[in-house]
Structure 1
């Protein structure tokens, strides 16, 4: 996984696909995007704009993906994302049509994601999103870029 600030990527050794997402974020006002999926480069790169209420971790689920990188970019407000390694989790199944690996397990770390930051989750990175920061639910808006690998 990669956790970084959007304005701190100039000297980072990021893949061209991740750099393309960073450029897209820097050149577009994501606040103006409505909810749903928005194509950028066909099924190779698209963004899902989400808006939801954060909640307690026990109300959320763990996930990972085999065919796409997830790049999480908060737009409004903060959310906690819990993280673990897929190898530490008990995998329950894989839905190919949704590229969704379901699992159970314990978190290894948590990040509080704020606007101006991004998180890249690779196939080996289990993540649980939409967790309320300090137990205080709030409605957030975020972008999740899906990058075909």
Structure 2
């Protein structure tokens, strides 16, 4: 996991070129104007999902991880808590390759709170539970870049 803010991208020069490509895309496009849904950037190698939802309690949410894609969550509007742990600390369910979805059960090791401009990069061993409320339910808009693992 890597947690940061896009205003400090110069500190992340070591990141893979495909991850940097996502941040370049953020700088070059007005993602707030994008409609909810999937937007192709480079076929199935790189795309962005624009999501809008209302955050809720942890009990209403689920744990997940991915094997085929990295997730790069970039907050566009609103606060959202994302609970995190490592999949080795969780009960792993059956992987669903068609949705690149590894369901998990367990407890958080920690969490991050994403505000506008914050990002969280989740690698295959990073379990995450999104859409957790911060000081009550809030409507949020977020970009989730999906980067195919080579």
With normalisation by structure 2, the TM-score equals 0.97
1:53, 1:121 → 2: CA distance?
21
> Which string of whole-angstrom CA distances, capped at 9 and with x for unpartnered residues, describes residues 74-113 of structure 1?
1111100000001000001111000000010010001110
Other-structure match for 1:139: 139
The alignment partner of 2:7 has SS state of coil
List, as ranges, runs of 4+ consecutive aligned residues in structure 1 with deviation greater than 3 Å: none
CA distance in 2, matches of 1:132, 1:94: 27
How far apart are the structure 2 equivalents of 1:19 and 1:85?
24
> d(CA) in 2 for partners of 1:138 and 1:42?
32
Counterpart-to-counterpart distance in 1, 2:16 and 2:9: 11
Report the counterpart of residue 26 of structure 1 in structure 2.
Answer: 27
Q: Secondary structure, in 3 states, of the residue corresponding to 2:124?
A: coil
Which is helix-richer, 1 or 2? 2
Unaligned runs of 5+ in 1: none
* Separation in 2, partners of 1:41, 1:78: 29
Q: Deviations over 1:32-63 (max 9, x none)?
A: 10000000011000000001010000000000
Counterparts of 1:1-149 in structure 2, within 5 Å, are 1-12=1-12, 13-134=14-135, 136-149=136-149
- Map Cα deviations across residues 111-142 of structure 1 (whole Å, 9 max, x no partner): 110111111000000000000013x0011111
Q: Report the Cα offset of residue 68 of structure 1.
A: 0.1
Kindly state the Cα deviation for residue 26 of structure 1 after the two structures are TM-superposed.
0.8
Equivalent-residue separation in structure 2 for 1:17 and 1:7 (angstroms): 18
The alignment covers a number of residue pairs equal to 148
Whole-Å separation in 1 of the counterparts to 2:8 and 2:141: 22
Query: Could you state the TM-score of these two structures normalised by the residue count of structure 1?
Result: 0.97
Structure 2: gaps (5+ residues): none
Shift of 1:10: 1.5
